[in-house]
């Protein structure tokens, strides 16, 4: 039996939870106050995901950087791969919200898209 | 001198929402004055997600949230001036501003909405000893450098203060290749959201040291390191607990202060607890026809509440202008008293006849409270008694007062909002 300690992010209570696992399966969740804690704990120990946000250089625009995000959440362990995939990316203005900046970033199947309109000068 | 019905000072989330709502109420002559090169205010540099869950039922980044309101302002054809600094406003609503195209100019307004936002507490306000080398930034300055200007402030980072901007910047600097060694917090609890502690610190193995502060800064030209020490329950450093950290960058995330120099020049009455203007039910300051909303009024936790509050301020400013410079008859002024754990309320007073059917009263608590009640009293009669599992200083709380309940109460002298133990 393997156990993991987590802090719930559902609300400011921040319940300290313990998840018991066996062969990658959740056996029990304890320490939570409500159902949301249970749901969060099960997802967090089996397949945690995150939305990654960053910014990349833009040429010929009104400001030097355009903010970007992964269009969906990606596996948590891929965060740094996502960052590497945009490290040397430069785009040309104009840029519109939703424009694909990098397609299928780090082979996650998820695109990196712009989150800001940048007009060309 | 040009004149407008409503002039809005600041083109961030509060100013944009106030402008859009005033225009929808039928006031055409509106001008937004913004000192930055673009509309959107601080949201432009808050590139992380988590904005708009209440307003749009989806999780947006800061720039995306701002764009929704910028689009409204453009569609409604509301005038704005960028790169424009407001220098002074007189009590009779004459505005002095300047920019590079118009030079110094004056505008006469019938109503004004203050929406200047807030700024960060600086190193000078924190009394940290040591030299003044390069490499010490407020967290928000670093955020702007990294996200908008495209510069990295440094490689080895210590963060003082665990407010949300500090936590967000711990992750941001890490993603951009810096080593964030520690986040230190003077208080025994973090001022930031749990979600940010988990996703910005725990995800990257960054330690959070509660009840710790920076007691020395090393380096003359460039920051070389800092000394961290534990503090006692009065916030005083405990001798013998000092630890040395080498770093080239120290970020300060130690609280936000409403930016009210202009409000003071108008002469509006100020609330010392919030450092914002005192307002009534209409979000009107002590100077008639001058309204305030957003972080210049009190520092908010969520931008959704800023937009909601600002829309109300815009509506009220429009009503004031349309009625020829008045909000109508005033019934007796009823003070709202904040006691027993409630640090302040916005509004701080109200005229029952001018209330909306449901008046939102927002406030913050002074400490962490578990399993307590938020209570509201009309004179000595309790009308609200709502249980809260947890309340923390980092989160804004609210109650809703019903107009019919107040109009039906004979001899109302005051309203009291307090925290009561179970």
Helical residues (DSSP H) of B238-366, grouped into ranges: 261-266, 303-322
Query: Can you give the pLDDT at residue B53?
Result: 82
Q: Please state the rounded mean pLDDT for residues B358-370.
A: 93
Q: What is the pLDDT of residue B13?
A: 98
Instruction: Return the pLDDT at B128.
Output: 86
pLDDT tens by residue, B216-264: 999 999 999 999 999 999 999 999 999 999 999 999 999 999 999 999 9
Shortest Cα–Cα distance, A99 to chain B (Å) = 13
Query: Mean pLDDT for each consecutive 10-residue tract of chain A (121 residues)?
Result: 85 82 91 89 91 96 95 94 96 97 96 96 90
Tokens (6 digits) for B180: 């964030």
> Chain B closest CA to A80's CA: distance in Å?
7
What number of residues does chain A have? 121
pLDDT of residue A10: 74
**Interchain contact, B61 vs A13, CB within 8 Å:** no
Query: Contact at 8 Å (CB) between B217 and B226?
Result: yes
Q: Is the ipTM of this complex over 0.85?
A: yes
A51 interfaces chain B, CB cutoff of 8 Å? yes
Residue among A13, A76, A115 minimizing CB distance to B47: A115
Across the interface, of A7, A13, A67, the residue whose CB is closest to B47 is A67
* Pairing mode, strands B369-378 and B94-99: unpaired
Q: From B415, B50, B92, B192, select the one nearest A53 (Cα to Cα).
A: B50
Find all residues with CB under 8 Å of B417, minimum gap 6, and list them.
Answer: B336, B337, B338, B339, B342, B345, B361, B363, B374, B375, B376, B377, B399
Nearest CA to CA, how far is A114 from chain B (Å)?
9
Look at A7 and B197 and tell me if their CB atoms are within 8 Å. Answer: yes
Alpha-carbon distance of B40 to A29, in angstroms, equals 43
Which residues on neighbouring strands pair with residue A57, listed in sequence order? A65, A90
CB-CB neighbors (< 8 A) of A76 in chain B: 203
A63 in contact with chain B, both atoms CB, cutoff 8 A: yes
B258 touches chain A (CB under 8 A): no
How sure is the predictor about B126, in pLDDT bands with cuts at 50, 70 and 90?
Answer: confident
- Does B184 or B393 have the greater pLDDT score? B184
Query: What's the mean per-residue pLDDT of chain B?
Result: 95
Q: Note the pLDDT of residue B293.
A: 98
């Amino acid at each position: 039996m393997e156990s993991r300690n987590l802090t719930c992010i559902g609300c400011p209570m921040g319940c300290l939870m313990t998840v018991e696992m066996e062969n990658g399966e959740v056996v029990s969740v304890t320490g939570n106050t409500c159902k949301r804690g249970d749901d969060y704990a099960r997802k967090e120990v089996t397949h945690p995901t995150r939305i990654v946000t960053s910014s990349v250089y833009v040429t010929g625009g009104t400001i030097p950087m355009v903010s970007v995000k992964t269009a969906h959440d990606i596996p948590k362990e891929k965060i740094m791969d996502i960052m590497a995939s945009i490290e040397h990316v430069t785009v040309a203005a104009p840029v519109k919200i939703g424009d694909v900046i990098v397609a299928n970033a780090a082979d996650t199947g998820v695109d990196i898209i712009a989150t800001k309109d940048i007009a060309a000068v | 001198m040009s004149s407008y019905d409503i002039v809005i000072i600041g083109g961030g989330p509060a100013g944009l929402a106030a402008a859009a709502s005033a225009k929808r109420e039928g006031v055409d002559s509106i001008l937004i004055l913004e000192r930055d090169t673009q509309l959107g205010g601080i949201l432009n540099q808050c590139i992380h997600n988590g904005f708009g869950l209440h307003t749009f039922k989806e999780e947006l980044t800061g720039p995306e949230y701002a764009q929704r309101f910028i689009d409204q302002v453009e569609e409604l054809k509301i005038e704005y001036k960028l790169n424009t600094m407001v220098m002074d406003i007189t009590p009779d609503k004459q505005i002095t501003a300047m920019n590079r195209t118009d030079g110094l100019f004056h505008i006469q307004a019938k109503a004004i909405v203050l929406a200047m936002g807030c700024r960060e507490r600086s190193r000078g306000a924190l009394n940290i000893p040591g030299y003044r080398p390069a490499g010490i930034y407020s967290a928000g300055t670093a955020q702007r450098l990294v996200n908008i200007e495209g510069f990295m402030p440094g490689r080895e980072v210590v963060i003082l203060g665990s407010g949300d901007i500090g936590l967000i910047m711990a992750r941001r600097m890490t993603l951009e290749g810096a080593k964030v060694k520690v986040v230190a917090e003077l208080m025994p609890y973090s001022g930031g959201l749990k979600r940010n502690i988990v996703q910005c610190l725990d995800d990257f193995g960054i330690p959070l040291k509660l009840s710790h502060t920076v007691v020395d800064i090393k380096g003359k030209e460039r920051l070389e390191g800092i000394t961290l020490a534990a503090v006692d329950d009065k916030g005083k450093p405990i001798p013998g607990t000092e630890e040395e950290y080498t770093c080239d960058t120290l970020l300060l995330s130690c609280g936000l202060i409403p930016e009210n120099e202009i409000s003071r020049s108008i002469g509006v009455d100020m609330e010392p607890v919030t450092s914002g203007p005192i307002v009534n039910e209409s979000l009107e300051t002590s100077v008639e026809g001058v309204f305030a909303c957003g972080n210049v009024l009190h520092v908010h936790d969520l931008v959704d509440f800023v937009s909601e509050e600002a829309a109300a301020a815009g509506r009220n400013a429009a009503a004031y202008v349309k009625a020829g410079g008045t909000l109508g008859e005033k019934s007796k002024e009823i003070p709202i008293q904040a006691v027993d754990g409630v640090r302040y309320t916005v509004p701080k007073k109200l005229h029952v006849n001018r209330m909306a059917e449901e008046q939102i009263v927002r406030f913050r608590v002074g400490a962490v409270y578990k399993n307590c009640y938020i209570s509201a009293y009309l004179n000595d009669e309790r009308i609200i008694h709502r249980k809260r599992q947890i309340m923390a200083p980092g989160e804004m709380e609210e109650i809703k007062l019903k107009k019919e309940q107040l109009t039906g109460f004979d001899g109302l002298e005051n309203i009291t909002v307090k925290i009561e133990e179970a």
